[in-house]
Amino acid sequence: MSEHVYRSPFTTWLEKSAVRSMPPSPWIAPGEGRWFPNDSWSVAAHPAVVASGRAHLVAAQLLAGYLDFTIQLESTCVGPVSRDVALWRIGAHYGDDVARDALRLQCDETFHALLCHELRRHVLDRTELPAPRIEEHRFLRQVRLVRERLAPFAPPELVDFCAAVVAETVITKTLLKDWDEGELRPEVREFLLRHYKDELRHGAFFAQALRIVWPQWDDCVRHAIEPCWPELTFAFVAPDAELSLAALLGAGFSSHEARLIVRECVKRAADATEIRACASGTLAALRDAGVVPDRALEVPVA
């Protein structure tokens, strides 16, 4: 058994979780502003996009794609992992309080997916744009590839648990950074704030869960998974080039124009310290759990 004493981050869940505290009336109050954060490496901020007058359309497409990714992440990764924790399917022993909180987390994530669906529909209706077509979002594709590669060495449930650890410890800083942009539309900021407050609890939960279960896994499993932590973290924090391309195409750019813009923005993102900063919560969780030595924690962006 792990010596880590679990301290529930869900003590205020009954009163403050979004799924329990959101008002019964429609929560989307349309306003003015940008659809998506105006990061320097974003294709929506590229000079050619701004000069075209279509930056707001590209931003709307990026938001719709991001919301689609979040729906898929919650539904195919974090939700199922929460279920597996609640049912003691992740190869470790822990108390009933951990299992209970995993069920609370699963409630939150399903509700987040619902909010994403509602906001995504709102974006597409207001802009009359087609939904960006993404066959498989970058992070989910990387999780699948890692799962397939490690199949002879690690059960898929354990790989998925590690992917959820990455997602839930990275996303908190990302949401706060994006919400802090005051020029975003109020309905987008409302979504980001609600999501952020819940993810504070979720990140703390998964950081503790990692400290509990990691020492209980077989050495061969841990040895197989260790090199994949930077790979998974990089796949989550780096901009999704496929989504950026789809956003540009949906806003009316030609394939040639879109690919040139994406290429330049990917290079710009490689130098963005803000992107690396978003991974600090994950790196702290890995360090506290003794997962990998400090020298292995550097996460490149490109």
Q: List the CATH number of the domain containing 66.
A: 1.10.620.20
Q: What is the pLDDT of residue 172?
A: 86
The number of distinct structural domains making up the chain is: 1
Q: What is the pLDDT of residue 123?
A: 96
Question: CB–CB of 210/267 below 8 Å?
Answer: no
pLDDT beyond 90 at 177:
no
Residue 178 in any domain: the answer is: yes
Q: How confident is the model at residue 270 (pLDDT cuts 50, 70, 90)?
A: confident
Residue 28 in any domain: the answer is: no
Segment 253-264 mean pLDDT: 96
Selection from 100, 48, 31, 111 nearest residue 78 by Cα? 111
pLDDT beyond 70 at 256:
yes
Average predicted confidence (pLDDT) for the chain: 92
Residue 242 in any domain: the answer is: yes
- pLDDT tens-place string over residues 97-106: 999 999 999 9
CA distances from 214 to 2, 37, 59, 164, 252 (A): 9, 35, 39, 14, 48
Q: How confident is the model at residue 66 (pLDDT cuts 50, 70, 90)?
A: very high
Residue 26 in any domain: the answer is: no
Q: What is the pTM of this model?
A: 0.93
Q: How far apart are CA 287 and CA 295, in angstroms?
A: 10
- pLDDT tens-place string over residues 127-172: 999 998 898 999 999 999 999 999 999 999 999 999 999 999 998 8
Residue 189 in any domain: the answer is: yes
Range of the domain at 211: 39-293
pLDDT beyond 70 at 301:
no
Residue 5 in any domain: the answer is: no
Residue 51 in any domain: the answer is: yes
Segment 50-67 mean pLDDT: 97
pLDDT beyond 70 at 295:
no
Residue 2 in any domain: the answer is: no
Q: What is the pLDDT of residue 296?
A: 52
